[in-house]
Structure 1
Amino acid sequence: MLHDGFLLLGFALAFVLLFRRVGLGATLGYLLAGVVVGPQCLHLVGDAEQKMGIAELGITLLLFLVGLELEPARLWKMRRDIFVLGSLQVTACGLVLAAALHFATGFSSAAALALGLPLALSSTAQVLPMLQSSGRMKTRFGERAFAVLLLQDLSIIPLITIVAALSRNPADAGGPPGWLMVAETAGAIVALVVAGRYLLRPLFRVIGNLGEREMFVVAALFTVLAAAALMQMLGLSSALGAFIAGVMLAGTPYRHELEAAVEPFRSILLGLFFLSVGMMLDLSAIVQEPLFVLAITLLLITTKAAVIFGLALLFRMNWRGALALGLLLSQGGEFAFVLFTQATRAQLIAPQAASLFGAVVTLSMATTPFLMSATRKFRAEPAAKDEVREGPEGIGKSRAEGDCANAVIVGYGRFGQTVAQMLLAGGIGVTLIDRNVGMIDTAATFGSRVYFGDGTRLDVLRQAGADSAEMIMFCLDGDQIDAELIEAVGQAFPQAAVHVRVFDRFGMIKLEPTGAALVIRETIESAIAMARAAFDGAGLSQEAIRRAEVAYRARDRERLRAQIETGDMHAAPERIFTEVEGLPPEITATG
């Protein structure tokens, strides 16, 4: 295992870096690395089927993360795209491809259906990361692409039923009827919904109170695997179960912490999946029938792109968006390998045909980054003014509506609450993060959504939308923030101004070299406000009060500057007011 892991990760690292550098994307790098390291080329690593079984967990984790971003209410709004556009895509592409294969190759009608219907499915593992990396996952275009992919995952059940109904294998005659599989699926979905509401949410609340991050990782993986295992036990799509579990947790305060816990496993396993696909590519089948494989690959891509383009136009997408959707979903998908295996067992196609069409699917997946890159300028158009790009949760309006800024606030205690309410009053959207479960629950009773998580971790900040935030504001009690963290945040999110609350001038001196946009002492403004009130009560004029405040602030800045430069907390003692002094006339508001 160590030997194989070393080689796979080494080749993956080299090829992905190379392909990223030339702008072809990570997926193609993983695929080619798998081809080179696998049994068809250098033969350094074998047993691709076993690795594929493990790597399919990457798709399961990917669907769980997607589910975390889709609350049930938002999913319900997408129902037309899911059930109408998605169903039309699978049906139309499957039937057109089956008919084309029947007339072009002479396959029987049953064999053509067993091949055409799986080819109608696209690669969720390839398309979703492409949407996420381009920031289009939450756009109207991204939602439609995801709706089609989700329906494709749901269609695994009826497609397996169709293959079983067409089976020529006598052993399949005693299999469960299709209506029973549908009933089992519905029951499993209901069970997951109930478990998510009454078991998972209380579980994560208990873990949040314990404050153990490791337990969050364990609980997150347990949730995904349990949901996937339930579906797999029923012979259904394990990824669908993980997706439903994610949707059930999307509206909880623990979403960002869960994303941060699962994301590293998803990235590694999804990379292993594409490595395995490359290792399983049957080069001998391509060598024996190169023209056939290339012709069927071209037929697959052009047919799916054309059909999806037409359907998108029917759903009132503009031609550029329709073309982009058609090209993005033009490849075959990972579930085709599962259905080809089912068709082989059902004696509908020969093993050699399954190998050939597996090569077709792999080649079609490799073409997608090229197609999207080659047509970018042709189909590009300015983003719609009302299009919402990915960013922190809770912003609730687009950049066109008042050009609102957005901020991530870490810490929702008394200080953070005031900052958040002021920003919201000024039209700035906020994402709130805190580790105090009691505070999160209390905030919910007032209608505020606060996410659970450790906002001093870069991965949690990234999941909360710090990549697109204009401000990151640390409002934590005491001196929990150190210089290394602020420097790391500034490097990771250079577009965001970092604001930090510190306890006293010791904290300001510590953070001065970090380049933070603002470091503020938590008590200074309230102390000045009290002094102003005392002056007012003593009958001083507003001009005298203003001059006193300006004089204090000027001396305080001078003393702080001297302390920073010398590293001596006792520097510039003469700048401290120790007795009544007359205000120098040269002190002004800009001090």
Structure 2
Amino acid sequence: MSAAAESGISIIQVVSLLGAAVVAVPLFKRLGLGSVLGYLAAGLAIGPFGLGLFSDGHTILHVAELGVVIFLFVIGLEMKPSHLWHLRKQIFGLGSMQVVVAAILLTIVGMLFGFSWQISFIAASGFVLTSTAIVMSVLGERGEIDSPGGQKIVSILLFEDLLIVPLLAIVAFLSPHHTESSQPVWQSIGIALGCVAVLVAAGRWLLNPLFRLLARSQAREVMTAAALLVVLGAGVLMEKGGLSMAMGAFLAGVMLSESHFRHQLEADVEPFRGLLLGLFFLAVGMSLDLNVVARNWPLIVSSVLALMAAKAVCIYLVARLAKSNHEEALERAVLMAQGGEFAFVLFTAATLQGVISDTNTANMTAIVVLSMVLTPLFMILHGKLPKKAAAEREADKIDERHAILQVGFGRFGQIVYYILNAAGYSITIIDKDEKTVAGMNKYGVKTYFGDASRPELLRTAGIEKAAVLVVAIDDPEQILQIVEFAREANPNIKIVARAYDRIHTFKLFQADADEIVRETFDSGIRAGKRALEMLGLPHETAEKAGDLFFRMDRNGMHKMAVLYNPELESFANQAMLEEGLRQDRLIAEAVQALLRGEEEIDESV
């Protein structure tokens, strides 16, 4: 008998799991229904109430929860401790507000259905814990995890994970078997904090030396094993301390976010993350007990709709109180209105403690699973609703200010960024293209959305204390506005500005930009050098000729800029035209002298 069979899962079942995912997920994505709904439908199809290839979806669910654990480890790798510190108000402010208000409201809903306050509270507490797997999967597919809205959602999810300890303590307190000999709440919290301290200490003083040592062995499989060891070890430590495995994995990721091995670790665990997360959604689909739904369908269906509606209303109101606009608040309400995977842990503990009955647990589990199944459908319906003329998106809140401020992150700005980043400099980046901002944040480059031609945004970004400003957008008028304001707000700042053409260069010169870079000048010089080579000049000579032209043309631009008059058309300014013709003649004479081999060349223009 094979090892798989001995563990209760046959090879046929493994093949069916993979086959269901391979067939369903691409089909559902092709239909525009999303991968999450594809996994859920596939799980339902092969589960106990479909083809019956599996008799117990909950067993697989416990294994598949490792996908959520690894997912949060990867998220942690993207969050440096300093960034997490910036989110503290959102985690404990916004998170606590949403959780407390939702728990009270959902408890009232349960009592209106005729249940005792104890049962209603347990059901509400489980439903308050949003599905990290579903929400993070949707945000990941959209590339919105690092967006301001995405960061608010991540903050709320982190706070919900922190609630596991107090909720389990409350369950123990509500238990009819509760005695004074039970472990005190303060002791539970102390153990949890002790485990967090151990993990933080290991992250600061143990993990980096460990991975440095393993890297020297040059055994890729050992690095992968070590990465999984860190993820699962941190998860087990937190679980033993009464917290969730997901929280432990997240903290381990945060501890390694500034490590030189961050990208290697992410690459090592990525295949496991995707596979196990898919398996998690398959298991959720399998664990939907249709017998329970059939026996109690009026209660379950009405409870699902009532709880999701109440939670969505609560999330919307809290988001609006926190100054989110209507669209962002509604989007968050639809995305987070379901119960989560940690509800299963809470319901199991409540059953074992005698707080709720087995029947209550079955009904609550069905309600949570059904809410998770319905969420992707509601997201699709929300996406198809007619929208108001989209209000202009508000600029992102800039919470990291660096000595270098860069405006614009297109094809020009990216080159500037990567040179500065390679040299070890930190940069605050602003761009007003939403796709660029979302894409670069997904790629790992922190980018803020906003229109930098607005003075208040530049002030928020720290223009008054910045040392260098790089203006790399492609709108000539806005470049000029930004340079003029920057010089006024910070007379000592050094400004590197992108110029569209010669006239734009003259305007930027008058606006007192320190360095003006014509966007096609350098590439044009390179093209000219290659053309000279093709005409038979030696490579070295062509390079010298191009470099000479580069220096003389740049020097001459200053003299023309002094003569530039914005009130005159380009070809109506006789003095500037004459200076331009004089420079052309002098540059031609100098280049030809170089080609003749003359040693002394006058570069003055």
Q: TM-score, normalised by structure 2?
A: 0.67
Question: Paired residue for 2:69, among 46, 49, 60?
Answer: 60
Contact map agreement 2:285 2:373 (CA 8 A) in 1:
no
In structure 2, what is the equivalent of residue 311 of structure 1? Answer: 318
Per mean C-alpha deviation after superposition, the further-off stretch among 40-49 and 133-142 is: 40-49
2:301 counterpart of 1:289: no
In structure 1, how many angstroms separate the alpha carbons of the residues matched to 2:299 and 2:35?
A: 28
In structure 2, how many angstroms separate the alpha carbons of the residues matched to 1:125 and 1:396?
A: 37
In structure 1, what is the equivalent of residue 576 of structure 2? Answer: none
2:153 counterpart of 1:145: yes
| CA distance 1:58–1:531, change in 2 (3 Å) | closer
| CA distance 1:210–1:95, change in 2 (3 Å) | same
| CA distance 1:405–1:180, change in 2 (3 Å) | farther
Question: Paired residue for 1:402, among 380, 389, 408?
Answer: 408
2:228 counterpart of 1:180: no
Question: Paired residue for 1:364, among 371, 383, 390?
Answer: 371
In the alignment, residue 363 of structure 1 is paired with which amino acid?
Answer: L
2:357 counterpart of 1:350: yes
SS in structure 1 at match of 2:130: coil
Contact map agreement 2:541 2:595 (CA 8 A) in 1:
no
2:38 counterpart of 1:29: yes
In structure 2, how many angstroms separate the alpha carbons of the residues matched to 1:395 and 1:6?
A: 55
1:265-309 deviation line (CA, Å, top 9, x unaligned): 011111111111111111001111112111001011110110010
1:377-412 deviation line (CA, Å, top 9, x unaligned): 5458467374499xxxx99978xx33444899xxxx
Structure 1 residue 210, shift from structure 2 partner: 4.3
2:175 counterpart of 1:167: yes
In structure 2, what is the equivalent of residue 157 of structure 1? Answer: 165
In the alignment, residue 74 of structure 2 is paired with which amino acid?
Answer: L
| CA distance 1:164–1:429, change in 2 (3 Å) | farther
Question: Paired residue for 2:107, among 86, 98, 104?
Answer: 98
Contact map agreement 2:404 2:426 (CA 8 A) in 1:
no
Contact map agreement 1:395 1:430 (CA 8 A) in 2:
no
In structure 1, how many angstroms separate the alpha carbons of the residues matched to 2:123 and 2:187?
A: 24
Structure 1 residue 325, shift from structure 2 partner: 1.0
Structure 1 residue 333, shift from structure 2 partner: 0.4
Task: Flag structure 2 segments of 5+ consecutive residues without an equivalent.
Answer: 5-10, 428-439, 448-526, 549-587, 598-605
Contact map agreement 2:76 2:257 (CA 8 A) in 1:
yes
In structure 2, how many angstroms separate the alpha carbons of the residues matched to 1:397 and 1:18?
A: 45
In structure 2, how many angstroms separate the alpha carbons of the residues matched to 1:117 and 1:362?
A: 15
Structure 1 residue 71, shift from structure 2 partner: 0.7
Contact map agreement 1:532 1:545 (CA 8 A) in 2:
no
In structure 2, how many angstroms separate the alpha carbons of the residues matched to 1:428 and 1:44?
A: 52
In structure 1, what is the equivalent of residue 380 of structure 2? Answer: 373
1:6-25 deviation line (CA, Å, top 9, x unaligned): 00111122111121111111
| CA distance 1:9–1:545, change in 2 (3 Å) | farther
In structure 2, how many angstroms separate the alpha carbons of the residues matched to 1:150 and 1:378?
A: 32
2:238 counterpart of 1:190: no
In structure 2, what is the equivalent of residue 487 of structure 1? Answer: none
Contact map agreement 1:282 1:356 (CA 8 A) in 2:
no
Contact map agreement 2:146 2:441 (CA 8 A) in 1:
no
Contact map agreement 1:407 1:429 (CA 8 A) in 2:
no
Contact map agreement 2:146 2:442 (CA 8 A) in 1:
no
In structure 2, what is the equivalent of residue 514 of structure 1? Answer: none
In structure 1, how many angstroms separate the alpha carbons of the residues matched to 2:298 and 2:279?
A: 29
1:480-521 deviation line (CA, Å, top 9, x unaligned): xxxxxxxxxxxxxxxxxxxxxxxxxxxxxxxxxxxxxx9xx9
Contact map agreement 2:164 2:242 (CA 8 A) in 1:
no
| CA distance 1:280–1:202, change in 2 (3 Å) | same
SS in structure 2 at match of 1:331: coil
Structure 1 residue 354, shift from structure 2 partner: 1.0
1:395-441 deviation line (CA, Å, top 9, x unaligned): 9978xx33444899xxxxxxxxxxxxxx43xx567765xxxxxxxxx
In structure 1, what is the equivalent of residue 23 of structure 2? Answer: 14
Question: Paired residue for 1:117, among 97, 121, 125?
Answer: 125
Contact map agreement 2:65 2:277 (CA 8 A) in 1:
yes
SS in structure 2 at match of 1:41: coil
In the alignment, residue 408 of structure 2 is paired with which amino acid?
Answer: G
In the alignment, residue 543 of structure 1 is paired with which amino acid?
Answer: V
**Alpha carbon RMSD of aligned pairs, Å?**
3.6
1:423-469 deviation line (CA, Å, top 9, x unaligned): 43xx567765xxxxxxxxxx76x889xxxxxxxxxxxx998559x9x
In the TM superposition, what are the counterparts of 1:122-521 in structure 2 within 5 Å?
Answer: 122-169=130-177, 174-376=181-383, 377-378=385-386, 381=390, 384=393, 386-387=395-396, 401-405=407-411, 423-424=415-416
In the alignment, residue 12 of structure 1 is paired with which amino acid?
Answer: A
Structure 1 residue 205, shift from structure 2 partner: 2.5
Per mean C-alpha deviation after superposition, the further-off stretch among 378-387 and 260-269 is: 378-387
Matched residue count: 447
| CA distance 1:98–1:204, change in 2 (3 Å) | same
Q: Percent identity?
A: 37
In the alignment, residue 130 of structure 2 is paired with which amino acid?
Answer: S
In structure 1, how many angstroms separate the alpha carbons of the residues matched to 2:317 and 2:214?
A: 49
In the alignment, residue 117 of structure 1 is paired with which amino acid?
Answer: S
In the alignment, residue 240 of structure 1 is paired with which amino acid?
Answer: M
In structure 2, how many angstroms separate the alpha carbons of the residues matched to 1:9 and 1:48?
A: 15
| CA distance 1:211–1:338, change in 2 (3 Å) | same
Q: TM-score, normalised by structure 1?
A: 0.69
In structure 2, what is the equivalent of residue 45 of structure 1? Answer: 54
Structure 1 residue 41, shift from structure 2 partner: 2.2
SS in structure 2 at match of 1:375: helix
Structure 1 residue 147, shift from structure 2 partner: 0.6
| CA distance 1:548–1:16, change in 2 (3 Å) | farther
Contact map agreement 2:316 2:329 (CA 8 A) in 1:
yes
In structure 2, how many angstroms separate the alpha carbons of the residues matched to 1:331 and 1:85?
A: 18
1:217-276 deviation line (CA, Å, top 9, x unaligned): 122111101101111222321111110010111122222221111111011111111111
In the alignment, residue 150 of structure 2 is paired with which amino acid?
Answer: G
In structure 2, how many angstroms separate the alpha carbons of the residues matched to 1:463 and 1:307?
A: 29
| CA distance 1:324–1:429, change in 2 (3 Å) | farther
In structure 2, how many angstroms separate the alpha carbons of the residues matched to 1:463 and 1:212?
A: 29
In the alignment, residue 118 of structure 1 is paired with which amino acid?
Answer: G
Larger radius of gyration: 2
| CA distance 1:294–1:209, change in 2 (3 Å) | same
| CA distance 1:407–1:15, change in 2 (3 Å) | farther
In the alignment, residue 81 of structure 1 is paired with which amino acid?
Answer: Q
1:149-203 deviation line (CA, Å, top 9, x unaligned): 1101111111111111101235x76432111111111111111111111111122
In structure 1, what is the equivalent of residue 7 of structure 2? Answer: none
Task: Flag structure 1 segments of 5+ consecutive residues without an equivalent.
Answer: 409-422, 433-442, 449-460, 469-517, 550-591
In structure 1, what is the equivalent of residue 591 of structure 2? Answer: 543
Contact map agreement 1:340 1:354 (CA 8 A) in 2:
yes
1:51-106 deviation line (CA, Å, top 9, x unaligned): 122111111101101111111111111111100111111111112111111122x2
Contact map agreement 2:348 2:361 (CA 8 A) in 1:
yes
| CA distance 1:218–1:395, change in 2 (3 Å) | farther
Contact map agreement 2:34 2:376 (CA 8 A) in 1:
yes
Question: Paired residue for 2:90, among 78, 81, 84?
Answer: 81
Contact map agreement 1:388 1:397 (CA 8 A) in 2:
no
In structure 1, how many angstroms separate the alpha carbons of the residues matched to 2:144 and 2:237?
A: 31
In structure 1, what is the equivalent of residue 450 of structure 2? Answer: none
In structure 2, what is the equivalent of residue 581 of structure 1? Answer: none
In structure 2, how many angstroms separate the alpha carbons of the residues matched to 1:395 and 1:254?
A: 26
In the TM superposition, what are the counterparts of 1:536-575 in structure 2 within 5 Å?
Answer: 542-544=590-592
